[in-house]
């Protein structure tokens, strides 16, 4: 009986083993759960060609935005666990479980984490029409004008939104939230002065900061950004303990064979060591990371634990 069971098990697993060994036999798709133009889209498009070289197949980028990144994340969570559809995981994986009353997936249970790819600070920017050249001046201006200014965000559950909610809680200010479907539309509203300030991931804001279209006041990381060392941290300017870091990395559907996860991990680590990827993202303030699937899983688990108290303190929920 035991021998028969072993034979049956071997017969069932043999095709899957051969399949994973042949992986990838066709193009791989990275789902970006936001519109084009934002951080997650930028880093995915920088990674895709380098990852494709390592895998020996084309790597495509598919933007599936909506619900603060949840539409794209759910699509990948429900995709076939064959390694051909992955998602660019991001801070919403740590925030959404606390923000959304009814989340249709669980970040830890429904994904096989491939590897952390990199981290970046967020940056606080204001429209040039705002009479503030420093964080203390901005706080004073906001306190004199409660509810009269709007802030843009890439959507509910994103690290830029939570960065502003944490800022508001720590400074006792009130700014009206105007959510958009991604960083690109939020930037457009800022440039048109439809919204007056926002936190955003640093990379997509660098060109606008350098051109003077927006005024940067501070970064959210504990230490200054190498890309813009002239900008102070919020901790430096009086918001002691303030720290928010955006991050990104690949995740596959749960039950993806470990052999495939390892191949993706090794390819991603080699791709992010390439000079082309490091130069493009380094000049935009990103710190690139190479690690294991286990390390990335632990990182996301820690992010979920970190954001629970912050979301509760901010009093933000979405049905």
User: If you average pLDDT over residues 115-144, what whole number do you get?
Assistant: 96
Q: Which residues contact 136 (CB under 8 A, 6 or more apart)?
A: 237, 238
Query: Is-same-fold flag (27-119+246-314; 121-219)?
Result: yes
Predicted local confidence at residue 14, as pLDDT: 47
Q: How confident is the model at residue 311 (pLDDT cuts 50, 70, 90)?
A: confident
CA distances from 220 to 22, 73, 120, 263, 300 (A): 43, 25, 9, 34, 19
pLDDT at 6 over 70: no
pTM of the model: 0.82
The CATH class that applies to domain 121-219 reads alpha beta
Give the domain ranges of the chain.
Answer: 27-119+246-314, 121-219
| 236: number of Cβ within 10 Å | 16
Average pLDDT, the chain: 91
Asked if 92 contacts 33 with a C-beta cutoff of 8 angstroms, the reply is yes
Of 120, 92, 114, 29, the C-alpha closest to 290 is 114
Which long-range contacts link 228-233 to residues 24+ away (Cβ below 8 Å)?
228/123, 228/202, 228/285, 231/123, 232/135
Of 120, 145, 156, the C-alpha closest to 196 is 145
Greater model confidence, 301 or 10: 301
The CATH class that applies to domain 27-119+246-314 reads alpha beta
pLDDT at 203 over 60: yes
User: If you average pLDDT over residues 28-55, what whole number do you get?
Assistant: 94
Digit-coded pLDDT (tens) for 143-153: 999 999 999 99
User: If you average pLDDT over residues 236-247, what whole number do you get?
Assistant: 93
Predicted local confidence at residue 149, as pLDDT: 96
């Amino acid at each position: 009986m035991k021998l028969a069971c072993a034979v049956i098990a071997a017969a069932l697993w043999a095709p899957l083993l051969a399949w994973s060994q042949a992986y990838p036999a066709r193009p791989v798709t990275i789902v970006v759960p936001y519109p084009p133009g934002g951080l997650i889209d930028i880093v995915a498009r920088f990674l895709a060609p380098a990852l494709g070289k390592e895998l020996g197949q084309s790597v495509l980028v598919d933007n599936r935005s909506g619900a603060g990144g949840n539409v794209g994340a759910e699509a990948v969570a429900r995709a076939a666990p064959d390694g051909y559809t992955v998602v660019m995981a991001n801070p919403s994986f740590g925030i959404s479980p606390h923000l959304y009353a009814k989340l249709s997936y669980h970040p830890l249970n429904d994904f096989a984490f491939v590897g952390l790819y990199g981290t970046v600070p967020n940056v606080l920017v204001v429209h040039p029409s705002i009479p503030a050249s420093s964080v203390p001046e901005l706080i004073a201006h906001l306190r004199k004008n409660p509810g009269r200014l709007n802030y843009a965000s890439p959507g509910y559950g994103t690290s830029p939104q939570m960065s502003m909610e944490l800022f508001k809680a720590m400074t006792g200010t009130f700014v009206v939230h105007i959510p958009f479907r991604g960083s690109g539309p939020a930037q457009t509203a800022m440039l048109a002065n439809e919204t007056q300030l926002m936190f955003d991931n640093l990379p997509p804001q660098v060109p606008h900061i350098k051109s003077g279209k927006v005024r940067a006041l501070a970064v959210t990381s504990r230490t200054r950004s190498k890309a813009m060392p002239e900008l102070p941290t919020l901790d430096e300017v009086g918001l002691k303990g303030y720290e928010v870091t955006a991050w990104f990395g690949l995740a596959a559907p749960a039950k993806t064979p470990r052999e495939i996860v390892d191949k993706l991990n090794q390819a991603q680590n080699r791709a992010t060591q390439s000079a082309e990827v490091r130069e493009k993202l380094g000049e935009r303030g990103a710190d690139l990371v190479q690690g294991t699937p286990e390390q990335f899983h632990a990182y996301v688990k820690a992010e979920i634990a970190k954001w629970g108290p912050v979301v509760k303190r901010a009093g933000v929920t979405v049905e």
